[in-house]
Amino acid sequence: AQSVTQLDSQVPVFEEAPVELRCNYSSSVSVYLFWYVQYPNQGLQLLLKYLSGSTLVKGINGFEAEFNKSQTSFHLRKPSVHISDTAEYFCAVIPEGFQKLVFGTGTRLLVSP
Amino acid sequence: KAGVTQTPRYLIKTRGQQVTLSCSPISGHRSVSWYQQTPGQGLQFLFEYFSETQRNKGNFPGRFSGRQFSNSRSEMNVSTLELGDSALYLCASTWDGSSYNEQFFGPGTRLTVL
């Protein structure tokens, strides 16, 4: 079975500060890794995904994530956040061959001026 | 290209009733998945349909069912509603159902059970 752990339920940061949202996963099979963002009263939007190849993945809105196989981590980073980045962020995995996202519990990013 | 649409956006029902939610995927997409989002359990996979066939199923009771039509539109039905069924129900579509393709999410249907 697969599981995803997002240790931080809430991360407060000031505008223009860097941020890292942590994600660890466990799986007995190969997985694809994703980060989604959910703005209030909206569905989920894909930020970035790791399928294979370079372990550093760049996504939309200036976000990037690094896949670390030995630590089974896929942390999300942004060098300088904006107020508009305030949202809930979900890390997720899909086992290879399935179409079933397994989500972490989410991290609420709160950006203040 | 229009995104994934879900109707209705909001729904209020009472315990014991049944409800049907609808999802129209992006044109050309053949796979539709459903997820339940609650504050306590987070986002949980319900089921996935591809070309009118259920391919994957999550750990939900039989009160939760779904179907997909030939035009890829999907419906989800919940019978004998319980208070705990109050949630945001999200559907997502992808064109071929492959694991590595992005799932595009709709805005969700917020179901409140009184």
Per-position DSSP letters for A7-47, written without gaps between them = --SEEEEETT--EEE--EEE-SS-EEEEEEEE-TTS-EEEE
Distance from CA of A10 to the nearest CA of B (A): 14
Q: Which residues of A touch B107 (CB under 8 A)?
A: 41-43
Q: Quickly state the pLDDT bin for B1 (edges 50, 70, 90).
A: low
Facing A46 at nearest CB: one of B33, B56, B102: B102
Task: Output the six-digit token pair for B109.
Answer: 């249907």
Q: Which residues of B touch A104 (CB under 8 A)?
A: 42
Q: In sequence order, what DSSP letters do the residues of A33-95 get, joined into one string?
A: EEEEEE-TTS-EEEEEEE-SS-SEEE-GGG-EEEEETTTTEEEEEESS--GGG-EEEEEEEEE
d(C-alpha A9, C-alpha B110), whole Å: 22
User: Residues 13..72 of B with a Cβ closer than 8 Å to A: which?
Assistant: 31, 33, 35, 42-45, 48, 50, 55-56, 58
For chain B, what percent of residues have pLDDT higher than 90? 85
Distance from CA of B49 to the nearest CA of A (A): 9
pLDDT in tens, A85-111: 999 999 999 887 777 889 999 999 999
Look at residue B36 in the predicted model and tell me its pLDDT: 97
Give the pLDDT mean for B90-114: 90
pLDDT in tens, A12-50: 999 999 999 999 999 888 889 999 999 988 889 999 999
Q: Quickly state the pLDDT bin for B78 (edges 50, 70, 90).
A: very high
Look at residue A98 in the predicted model and tell me its pLDDT: 75
User: Which residue, among A23, A48, A7, A9, has the nearest Cα to A102 in the 3D structure?
Assistant: A23
Alpha helices, DSSP H only, in B1-114? none
Distance of CA B58 to the CA centre of its chain: 12
Look at residue B19 in the predicted model and tell me its pLDDT: 98
Let me know: does B89 contact B9? Beta carbons within 8 Å.
Answer: no
Contact B99 A45 (CB under 8 A): no
Look at residue B80 in the predicted model and tell me its pLDDT: 97
pLDDT in tens, B43-71: 999 999 999 999 989 999 999 999 999 99
Facing B56 at nearest CB: one of A51, A100, A103: A100
